[in-house]
Amino acid sequence: MFEFLLPFFLISLFFLAFSFIWRTTARKYISSGTVASAYDAWTQDKLLERLWGEHIHLGFYPSENKNIDFRQAKVKFVHELVKWSGLDKLPKGSRILDVGCGIGGSSRILSKYYGFNVTGITISPAQVKRARELTPSGLNCNFQVMDALDLKFEDGSFDGVWSVEAGAHMNDKTKFADEMMRTLRPGGYLALADWNSRDLRECPPSFLENLVLKQLLEQWVHPNFISIKDFGNILRTNKNSSGRVFSENWNTYTNPSWYDSIIEGIRRPFAILSLGPLALVKSIREIPTILLMNWAFRKGLMEFGVYKCRG
């Protein structure tokens, strides 16, 4: 009888242990330092780069072709946001600030395909180091460690400001917008994409949705989420903004990314295994949060907001 129950006991023990590890190693937001530490760790273990490539953001899946390659979708996302935001109207040599540049994937595309002179900033020293390693000498890209809430640039320093999936890590969304708009020259272009919650005042979350939101905040160092409308209003009322702010919800185009980010590990198992057994544990550890993200975005609890405005 015991031999019959042993496999079930071991499986249950595994899931209990995994659940304990997942809860006790949560990456709660405490300060900007916890964001830096989390991204340092993600960069140094190279797991995300091996699985997802140079772009640690969601992809763009056209309505007519949802089956494009995950990495191609990430590159396509950059081009689609450039076109939608009007950033492509800027001439070659324009100065672009990439706020929350990661390991420089978007910065390199902006420089290579559009001829921009790109400055990427991130709060993670490890990301800056890796971005510099990945960037060919011929590209006009430079990377610096800097807090997005305290940009060390003069007013109007840039012709365009670009930011993808960085704002959710900012504990002060107004200051985040203030710093970007301050460094954008009059008439310059802002192109921004971020994770937002739906308007939780107009449509309060259920008990289950509150639990999901709590996990999404605590697992990936997010201090808070706000709605697309709320962040749009922050941009609209900024003293350096033209006031003409446009926003859209790109859930339809980006949602396939969540399942693809898991499937990528199945497609490229050696990308994980080549990093050692601990990498396998780390990759499995992220799956519950990815599944929760997928659920939240598909149900409309979370929304992928894109924004454009002029300085």
Q: What is the CATH number of the domain that holds 158?
A: 3.40.50.150
Q: How many domains does the chain have?
A: 1
Residue 13 lies in a domain: no
Mean pLDDT of 154-166: 98
Residue 3 included in any domain: no
Within-domain flag for 271: yes
Does the pLDDT value for residue 16 go beyond 80?
no
Using the predicted structure, report yes or no on whether residue 17 has a pLDDT greater than 50: no
Query: Taking 90 as the threshold, does the pLDDT of residue 48 lie above it?
Result: no
Q: Residue 155 domain-assigned?
A: yes
| Mean pLDDT value of segment 265-280 | 82
Q: pLDDT tens for residues 184-243?
A: 999 999 999 999 999 999 999 999 999 999 999 999 999 999 999 999 999 999 999 988
Answer whether residue 227 is part of any domain: yes
> Is there a domain that residue 16 lies in?
no
2 assigned to some structural domain = no
Provide the 10 A C-beta neighbour count for residue 161: 27
For residue 7, what pLDDT band results from cuts at 50, 70 and 90? very low
| Residue range of the domain that includes 264 | 25-310
Q: Please check the confidence at residue 100 and state whether its pLDDT lies above 70.
A: yes
- Assigned domain for 98 exists: yes
Query: pLDDT for 81-98, tens place per residue?
Result: 999 999 999 999 999 999
**CB 41 within 8 Å of CB 273:** no
Whether the predicted pLDDT of 128 surpasses 70: yes
Query: What percent of the chain clears pLDDT 70, i.e. is strictly above it?
Result: 92
